Amino acid sequence: MLIQAQNHARRVVISVIALLLCFGILLSPTGANAGAGGVLTAQRDSRSADLEAHMAATDDTPADIDAELLTDVAGSDETASPDSASGPVEIVVRFADPGVPSAAAGDPEAAVAALQSLEQQRWDLVEEGLRALDDRVTVLNRFWITGAILVSATPSEEVLSDLAALPGAVEVVPNFTVEPTADVIGPGSPGETVDDPTHGTLTWGVDRIEAPQAWDDFGVTGEGVRVAVLDTGVDASHPDLADKMVGADLNDPTYPGGWITFDSHGLPIATTPADPGSHGTHVAGTIVGGDASEVQIGVAPGASLMAANVLSGAGGGSYARILAGLQWALAPHSGHSTDDRVGLPANVINMSLGSTGHSAAFADIIRNIRAAGIFPAIAIGNAPCGPTGNSSPGDLYEAVGVGNTNSADEVNPESCGAQTAWPAEVTERYDWPQNFMKPDVSAPGTAVYSAIPGGRWGQSTGTSMATPHVAGAAALIASARAGLSVDEIAQALEDTAWHPAGDDAEQDDRYGHGRINVHDAIASVLGASGVSGTVIDSATGAPIEGALVTYADVSESWTTDARGAFQAPLVPGKYTLRIQAFGYHETEVAVTVPDDRIVQAQAELEAMTTGVIQGVAVSRETNEPIEGATVVVVGQPLSTTTASDGSYRFEGLPPGQYTVAFSAEGMTTATAAPARVEVAHQTTVNAVLSPQLRVLLIGSGDADRTAELLRANETTVTQRPDLPASVDADEFDTVIVDTAAQADPAAIAALRQSLQASGVGSLWLDLGSNETTGIALLSHHTGSPVVREGANDRDATATGYVITAEHPIFAAGQLSNSALTPEMFVSQNSQSTGPKFTAWFSDFNEPGAQVLASAAKQNNDGSVTVLGDGIAVSDGSGSRTVLLSLHASMSAIGARTWSSEVSQVLVNSTQWAAPDSVQPIAPTVLEPQSIKPTPPDPDDDGDGDGDGNGHGGNNGNSGGSPWQPAPANGNRDSTPQQLAPNQQKTPTAQEQPKPESAPGPPFSSLAELKLAEQGGITAVLDGDELAVTIPGAEPGDWYYLHIYPHKLGVDWIRVNSDGELRINIGSLQGGTYYLVFTAADGAHAGWYELEIAGEDEAAPQDDVPAAELPDVQADLTGDDEDLSAAPDNGLTPLEQGLLLGTTGVLLAAAAVITLAALRRKPSA
């Protein structure tokens, strides 16, 4: 669908050329429509390759000033001061642009570097002139893609003249905006399809250009090629697009390098992918879509998708916004900054947009894009085609303009096309032919079936739908043979296109060169030349799967298979291949590809010295390990699931900081703080996962969208239309009152009393649209808040909150990557049409009440008017309460139209209001510990018999191996060797005295213990004695021993002169024990897991009277008695002497006495 643009004077300056060609999109300039007025003209030479020559050629001649800006000044003269318009407007000043140097042609990185360098030189020349304008002009953004700046200024004659006189300025234009109309693509049937024996059902367009034959004959589906769709956005979760987005494997919801959106100034905004207009998703589906609908919709399903929202939402399709989108496609960055380069540039750009009439506004940009080696597929437009017969920028000479054909291979009557009639000064400036034909090629664009947001599919018609067929075809060609220039790809498409007049047909204004055939185009460029290579580990020679092989000069890439192999079809020439793989140092390999030959190449990668992240995931609800929990390393293509014991492990991690996130069905995702990984060290990250928050949402119909938002953010939602009489903390954690039916003072009072008694939190919402919203009910029936008001100001440009205080509900999260801080205005409703309801309150008189934000509206001049209190919290009446005055729902306004920041506030508030008992627990990140060699197998004593006694035979041993003790009667073949007097292992003289008091059990449960640092403790069995080594322990140090899972305190143990703690385990029954050590200063030293297999019962020591054994039944049944409070455990002095002998060795008595009590069964 083509938009109509108003011609303003003898020179047409189209502002933002961002109009969806298959929809109605209305161009609405920032200022009033132009009437009388002219353009200040200047002759300039724009072809010089030297920047200063370019700019010097314009120094004495002011730039053209768009008639719209002059009209603004003229119009204001009649009603305002004699020299100024009524207020500031946004203005774009374009400068002479020499373009991409020939030395950087075809190399995106070199082109970006050259353009940025030129822009900085240009800025140095114009900055002084801008300073001379004082505070009359504010610079909002700079664009290196074409040499332009965006400023805000009141357009007086003096200011405009000064801007036009800046060194090198060639044009002064407003930052026009465009807005999509209400037209959408609705769901529908596939329509005409083709059944393919190999690929199933295909859209007629994919079949018509012979994409399936290209897939089969040449083995390419677009792998290694990135296609950027500059449009209304994209639904990245659509079944046909899932995992196609660049950045999809980085566990980052903002898809760095694959997704971006901008404000009207062209500044990036950090968001998650979305498509408010549907158009971008449909276009993307035709390029890279799959067959989730059982119909294959994409031409290049193996290509990677990059998507920029340059049209939908706040700011519309401003000129600056589209400039920023084109810059991003050439040099991707995140939504946080234009300086943090992420990912590789696009190889193909799809622009299914345009406006009627010739406009050179994008001539420099598209020229630079093409010179950098990026294929620009641009729609030629739909009827009405305007006086020029074409749409711009599809009518630019460097653009590959695309027309629309139907299933009968006829050009759709609505498809534009004509011989261009550019002014001579434009064709001379850009060295174009005086007359040339558009479109260049045509492609299927009628009744095209593709993806639409929400996991749906539908048909649409227009050159917008034809263009992605060409973009997909270009991706297949680039994938089939890397290193082709844009000219070579375009030439292949033109030379092999089908035309009803035959192969010798001349280009015309209907078909162009013809309807494309991608199979024939690939065949025309393929030859038997390229690289067949392998990537291996330099130390082991093992193949490396998943290594990325990149032809750096034009960013082509391939991935090695399980054999470490890759095939790179390349035209003859010299190449430098860059090879990268996770956990390896990257390398480069220089290859020369001769004519008609495939050369062999091998790359050896050196493994980095790496570390490990490991840990366990435990359920907070059951204290049991979670099996099958998903653990990911955010920002890395690494994920795993936990084993039956809740454990996980990532090996081969290069040193650095890593963020680990845990998720499981029915649980709230837990993301750990960054964990440091060091070489040859193991970092432990443990998580306790909480059940999903349980929310009762009061409201129906319009509140469904709020329920959807909460469910999408790991919340269990129960919805009802009226207020409950009471709430139970065993059933709900938070109650949200959106809009309640049949609420009266008694119902409100009963609910609030129940909330306070149960500790369940509550959110009370409002919007000002009716009197049954949560805050309205509170105010009317309880008098708190005392005042509540509402309004509907359709003249406001946006409604929202002004943050006035810091609070956890303003924290960043999955929906919004940035925290909200005081003085920020956060938009809630910025729709260009429709109602603008607001509500506000005052005097919220609750214990612990705090106002966090004001309700506000944004005016047409950009100023913000505060209306009253907008967000308040309280936590002093037994439960937490949150008031949100702009979060209630109505038919036109709700969770689907909120900004990501406002949505995050609701999610955060729901969590904050819940009781402490259900608040998520942050994962524990422990310091890296040295990875120690596995302790020697005690069975491997070197004598070959495996019995561990070193005697070369079992000699009738009836007691089993040392890990399986004999009964306590001492019936063993091998007993601990007795130490001679001169062999006694005694502590040093510098020992500290034994601590007087014993610590309590350091952990409340075995599950909590397993989350704690193991401490690197090792142990070796020496007969019946376990020799324990604690890293850092010195002879004479004291450690207290607890034995889990029973939390039994034994006594203090002293480190001997060999740095060991000696524990006799000869009488322990079979089972699993956890020996937990606490240092004398109370610090947790670590724990050791001991597995003993044996008989269930062992007789207690004969010299320990049963009557003197401590009663530990209370501990076994869960009572809180501290068994370690009395270190003597009720022992006689004789038994105390047996417990700690003069050798400092912990003898059997302590363990036997303590654990013998565990074995006693209560009397009947």
Tell me, what's the pLDDT at 1005?
81
Our CA angle for 1123, 1129, 1133, nearest 5°, is 165
In angstroms, the CA 271 to CA 308 distance is 11
Residue with tokens 């809740």: 646
How confident is the model over 141-147, as a mean pLDDT?
93
* Residue 102 per-residue DSSP state: G
Contact 397, 436 (CB under 8 A): yes
Q: Give the distance, in angstroms, between the CA of residue 1095 and the centroid of all CA atoms in the same chain.
A: 54
Residues carrying CATH 3.40.50.880, the chain: 693-918
In angstroms, the CA 66 to CA 74 distance is 13
Inform me whether the pLDDT recorded for 7 exceeds 50.
Answer: no
What is the chain's mean pLDDT, rounded?
A: 80
Inform me whether the pLDDT recorded for 1102 exceeds 90.
Answer: no
Which token pair is 877?
């009446």
**Least-confidence region, from 17-21, 729-733, 815-819, 963-967:** 963-967
- Cβ contacts of residue 1138 below 8 Å, gap of 6+? 1147, 1149
Q: How big is the chain by its Cα radius of gyration, in Å?
A: 37
**Is 973 exposed, middle or buried, given 0-12, 13-18 or 19+ CB atoms closer than 10 A?**
middle
Task: Give the pLDDT band (50/70/90) at residue 264.
Answer: confident
Give the CB-side neighbour count of residue 760, counting CA atoms within 13 A. Answer: 24
How confident is the model over 986-993, as a mean pLDDT?
49
Tell me whether strands 348-351 and 375-379 are parallel, antiparallel or unpaired: parallel
> Which secondary structure element, helix H or strand E, spans residue 75, and what is its range?
helix 67-77
Task: Give the pLDDT band (50/70/90) at residue 182.
Answer: very low
Tell me whether strands 825-829 and 787-792 are parallel, antiparallel or unpaired: unpaired
Tell me, what's the pLDDT at 552?
61
How confident is the model over 981-1005, as a mean pLDDT?
63
Tell me, what's the pLDDT at 184?
47
* Long-range CB contacts for residues 1128-1132, cutoff 8 Å, separation at least 24: 1129/1153, 1129/1154, 1132/1108
Inform me whether the pLDDT recorded for 1132 exceeds 70.
Answer: no
How confident is the model over 583-593, as a mean pLDDT?
90
Tell me, what's the pLDDT at 297?
97
- Second-level CATH architecture of 530-605: Sandwich (2.60)
Tell me, what's the pLDDT at 969?
32
Whole-angstrom CA distances from 1130 to 235, 307, 348, 1112, 1139 are 70, 74, 82, 12, 12
In angstroms, the CA 645 to CA 998 distance is 32
Residues carrying CATH 2.60.40.1120, the chain: 530-605, 611-689
In angstroms, the CA 850 to CA 804 distance is 10
Inform me whether the pLDDT recorded for 138 exceeds 70.
Answer: yes
Whole-angstrom CA distances from 511 to 524, 764, 899 are 20, 61, 43
CATH number of the domain at 693-918, out of 3.30.70.100, 3.90.180.10, 3.40.630.30, 3.40.50.880? 3.40.50.880
Contact 281, 453 (CB under 8 A): yes
Task: Give the pLDDT band (50/70/90) at residue 582.
Answer: confident
List, for residues 195-240, the tens digit of each pLDDT value: 876 788 999 999 999 999 889 878 999 999 999 999 999 999 999 9
Tell me, what's the pLDDT at 974?
30
Inform me whether the pLDDT recorded for 1136 exceeds 70.
Answer: no
Tell me, what's the pLDDT at 53?
53
How confident is the model over 124-148, as a mean pLDDT?
90
**Least-confidence region, from 697-701, 921-925, 988-992:** 988-992
Inform me whether the pLDDT recorded for 1119 exceeds 60.
Answer: no
Task: Give the pLDDT band (50/70/90) at residue 939.
Answer: very low
Amino acid at 573: G
Q: What strands, in cross-sheet order, belong to the sheet with 1025-1029? A: 1018-1022, 1025-1029, 1061-1064
In angstroms, the CA 339 to CA 846 distance is 47
Inform me whether the pLDDT recorded for 714 exceeds 90.
Answer: yes
Tell me, what's the pLDDT at 1067?
63
Task: Give the pLDDT band (50/70/90) at residue 530.
Answer: confident
Question: What percent of the chain lies above the pLDDT cut of 70?
Answer: 80
Listed ranges 933-937, 1071-1075, 1098-1102; the one with the highest mean pLDDT: 1071-1075
List, for residues 252-263, the tens digit of each pLDDT value: 999 999 999 998
Task: Give the pLDDT band (50/70/90) at residue 1147.
Answer: very low
Inform me whether the pLDDT recorded for 1162 exceeds 80.
Answer: no
Tell me, what's the pLDDT at 101?
93
pTM attached to this predicted model: 0.57
Sign for the CA dihedral angle at 1153, 1156, 1162, 1164 comes to negative
Query: pLDDT higher for 492 or 1096?
Result: 492
Task: Give the pLDDT band (50/70/90) at residue 183.
Answer: very low
**Is 971 exposed, middle or buried, given 0-12, 13-18 or 19+ CB atoms closer than 10 A?**
exposed
How confident is the model over 141-153, as a mean pLDDT?
94
**Least-confidence region, from 247-256, 296-305, 345-354, 503-512:** 247-256
Residues carrying CATH 3.40.50.200, the chain: 193-525
3-state secondary structure of 400: strand
Tell me, what's the pLDDT at 878?
86
Tell me, what's the pLDDT at 356?
75
Task: Give the pLDDT band (50/70/90) at residue 86.
Answer: low
- Second-level CATH architecture of 611-689: Sandwich (2.60)
Task: Give the pLDDT band (50/70/90) at residue 527.
Answer: low
How confident is the model over 503-518, as a mean pLDDT?
93
Tell me, what's the pLDDT at 77?
47
**Least-confidence region, from 596-610, 755-769, 1090-1104:** 1090-1104
Tell me, what's the pLDDT at 956?
33
List, for residues 811-859, the tens digit of each pLDDT value: 998 888 889 999 999 999 878 778 999 999 999 999 999 999 999 999 9
H-only helix segments in 255-302: 279-288
Sign for the CA dihedral angle at 756, 757, 763, 766 comes to negative
Inform me whether the pLDDT recorded for 84 exceeds 90.
Answer: no
CATH homologous superfamily for 193-525? Peptidase S8/S53 domain (3.40.50.200)
Tell me, what's the pLDDT at 497?
93
Active site residues: 231, 279, 464
Percent of the chain as helix, strand, coil, to the nearest 5: 20, 30, 50
Pick from 341, 330, 339, 417: which is nearest to 365 by CA?
330
Can the peptide bond before residue 384 be classed as cis, meaning omega within 30 degrees of 0? yes
Task: Give the pLDDT band (50/70/90) at residue 55.
Answer: low
Tell me whether strands 734-737 and 693-698 are parallel, antiparallel or unpaired: parallel
Task: Give the pLDDT band (50/70/90) at residue 39.
Answer: very low
In angstroms, the CA 755 to CA 778 distance is 14
How confident is the model over 348-352, as a mean pLDDT?
95
The angle that helices 363-371 and 319-330 make with each other, rounded to 10 degrees, is 10
Tell me, what's the pLDDT at 310?
92
**Least-confidence region, from 44-53, 344-353, 476-485, 798-807:** 44-53
Question: What percent of the chain lies above the pLDDT cut of 90?
Answer: 53
Contact 577, 591 (CB under 8 A): yes
List, for residues 373-407, the tens digit of each pLDDT value: 999 999 999 998 888 899 889 999 999 999 999 99
